[in-house]
Structure 1
Amino acid sequence: MGFFDILQSIIPAAIFFAAPLIFTALGGVLSERSGVINIGLEGLMVMGAFVGVVFNLTFVDVFGPELTPWVSIFVAAIVSALFATFHAVASITLRADQVVSGVAINFLALGIGLFLVKQWYGKGQTDMVSAPFYRESIWLLSDIPVIGPLLFSKTYWTSWLAVLAAVLVWYMLYKTPFGLRLRSVGEHPMAADTNGINVNKMRYIAVIMSGFLGGLGGAVFALTISLDFSHATISGQGFMALAAMIFGKWHPMGALGAALFFGLAQSLSVVSGGIPLLKEIPQVYLLIAPYVLTILALAGFIGRAESPKALGKPYEKGSR
């Protein structure tokens, strides 16, 4: 196997596995940039995966096999955004401990999903979806020499949608007045309040947007990788996205790079059989590699990454 063939097997798989992490990590960036810790990214992904699969199974005959997956991930993102309001109310309005609220979101999402699956399908998991996303070659771009076959041939549209989302979130945060206001309430909410910015409103918007992107990540994972929903559909991906956000220093492009790094680690266990250098490594080592690399990445970089100064601190008008 030549070097280009190895790249052609690794890079598309890395982007494929990274896409759900990118969406969810971007959601974490928005929430935590506003000053609200969001440990509940795992639960938001679970809710997105659950809604995406159930909607896909229910409405495939209505929307058809091509449109159904797109409508499914949009509906899943909306439902997860609404679900994230539980975390917003607890953390912002009630000023509860944000870590505890996020953990509760994780348990609540999984409990709701499994309960409804048991009620509707009579078993612990849903049926397999018949209208998932499929690999496609992107018109014109796939014809570019070298780069085309490597990046744009037999790929998923959702992978490049995730990359585009990272660029859009970066532009919104750093090039628009809205982004400046959102970052200001996460750095110095009292100063932002003095300048007429509604701190709680901005934080609500950020947490709801976080829910939207987290749900999108969960639905994309379910409709490209697992193709059904069960208790093990989302098993740590939300925490990996949280790690990617911290590894990326709470920056959209940093989160994108970190998610791609973790996606690469996940892809190795899948493509290792066709790569001579990896073929001899026991499969179990490759399966645990993403989680080991997550720990090593955080251990090496978390001390150097500065979080928003007001992160985790509820704001009460008039307080110092």
Structure 2
Amino acid sequence: MDLFVAIMVNVAAASTPLVFAAMGELVVEKSGVLNLGVEGMMLMGAIAGFAAGYASGSMLIGIIVAGIAGGLLALLFGFLTQHLLANQVATGLALTIFGIGISAMVGHSFVGISLDPIAKGIPLLEDIPVIGKLFFGHDILVYASFVMTALVFYFLYKTRAGLILRAVGTNHDAAHSIGYSVVKIRYMAIVFGGAMAGIGGAYLSMAVNPMWVEEMTAGRGWIALALVVFATWRPGRVLVGAYLFGGISILQLNLQAMGVTIAPQLLAMLPYLVTIAVLVIISRDSGLMKKHAPACLGKIFHASS
């Protein structure tokens, strides 16, 4: 039972950065924008949060700065795609390359430095036998990821603002024709997505592995993008998918620790192989994709169009 609880705590830690990054990208894509720069924004959040946390001694400041860093990088993406009408796919890829490069440059002086990890557990409640560690033995950002999932769901499906955002993603020309500012709405969604990716990255450098390692996201930004498709653009499924992929990541680590006679390189590939397999399976159902995918996803909008 102790082993099971320990594994589940590790699964939550591995899944939380995916929840934040994928939830932010979900909102972005619901507005009709495809931002492939999640990996770069996560890395910027990781180094910015780590540097701010180290300089200030406050994990809260580190998380806030990480969100700002991710949001600023997303703002650059928004300017290029919404004002200069650059291709969203090419700009997103460039954003990832930029994020990888600048995070490596900024983080060079932080190599070898470690932080005290974010405190875990809710006092008294975590001492309850078995369920204490399982449900109350996590850090604050694990619980915040569940709250964020609920808030995103409520915003998208229970508020007028969420309805407008979904309308922009479904038909930006119709939304513009009745007076909604498509560009403004998409800007807000893009910055929100960047902030969430930044916080997801900071969780890696401040909680999962409280030290700076170059390219420490290790493809999690791409998995977050795949999760949005896997979830068919629905928040609840994003959460389930994040824990599924987080669980697979922890599974391959435990299999290596148990000495399973499979090459460790193959085990390390497991989460990414599962990602590819899931995307292939989902893409075969074209009706499901058309039903839930925003109709204007990736399309350039111009007010005069």
TM-score by length of 1: 0.87
| Residue 38, structure 1, aligned to residue 35, structure 2 | yes
1:246-276 Cα deviation digits (max 9, x unpaired): 11111111111111111001111333467xx
**1:14-163 aligned within 5 A:** 14-60=11-57, 68-118=58-108, 121=109, 126-134=111-119, 136-139=120-123, 141-142=125-126, 146-153=130-137, 155-163=138-146
Indicate conservation of the 8 Å contact 1:50/1:219, yes or no: yes
- 2:97 & 2:193 partners in 1: Cα distance? 18
- 1:209 & 1:270 partners in 2: Cα distance? 32
In the comparison of the two structures, how many residue pairs are matched?
299
Counterpart residue number, 1:63: none
Q: Which amino acid aligns with 2:253?
A: V
Displacement of 1:145 in angstroms is: 6.3
- 1:55 & 1:127 partners in 2: Cα distance? 16
Displacement of 1:54 in angstroms is: 1.1
Q: Which amino acid aligns with 2:192?
A: M
* Partner SS, residue 18 of structure 2: helix
Displacement of 1:301 in angstroms is: 1.3
Counterpart residue number, 1:252: 235
Counterpart residue number, 1:64: none
Displacement of 1:127 in angstroms is: 3.5
**1:131-280 aligned within 5 A:** 131-134=116-119, 136-139=120-123, 141-142=125-126, 146-153=130-137, 155-272=138-255, 279-280=259-260
Q: Alignment RMSD, CA only?
A: 1.9
- 2:148 & 2:20 partners in 1: Cα distance? 7
Indicate conservation of the 8 Å contact 2:104/2:215, yes or no: no
Displacement of 1:16 in angstroms is: 0.9
TM-score by length of 2: 0.91
* Partner SS, residue 211 of structure 2: coil
Displacement of 1:198 in angstroms is: 0.7
Q: Which amino acid aligns with 2:274?
A: L
Indicate conservation of the 8 Å contact 2:100/2:215, yes or no: no
Indicate conservation of the 8 Å contact 2:43/2:215, yes or no: no
Structure-2 change in CA distance of 1:74 and 1:107 (3 Å): same
- Please identify runs of 4+ aligned residues in structure 1 that moved more than 4 A: 143-146
| Residue 313, structure 1, aligned to residue 296, structure 2 | no
Which stretch of structure 1 is more off in the superposition, 136-145 or 162-171? 136-145
Q: Which amino acid aligns with 2:131?
A: I
- Structure 1's unaligned 5+ residue stretches are 61-67
Counterpart residue number, 1:302: 283
1:2-23 Cα deviation digits (max 9, x unpaired): xx44532322211110000000
Q: Which residue of 253, 270, 278 maps to 1:289?
A: 270
Displacement of 1:72 in angstroms is: 0.2
Counterpart residue number, 1:65: none
Indicate conservation of the 8 Å contact 2:22/2:228, yes or no: yes
- 2:112 & 2:180 partners in 1: Cα distance? 47
Q: Which amino acid aligns with 1:132?
A: P
Q: Which amino acid aligns with 1:263?
A: G
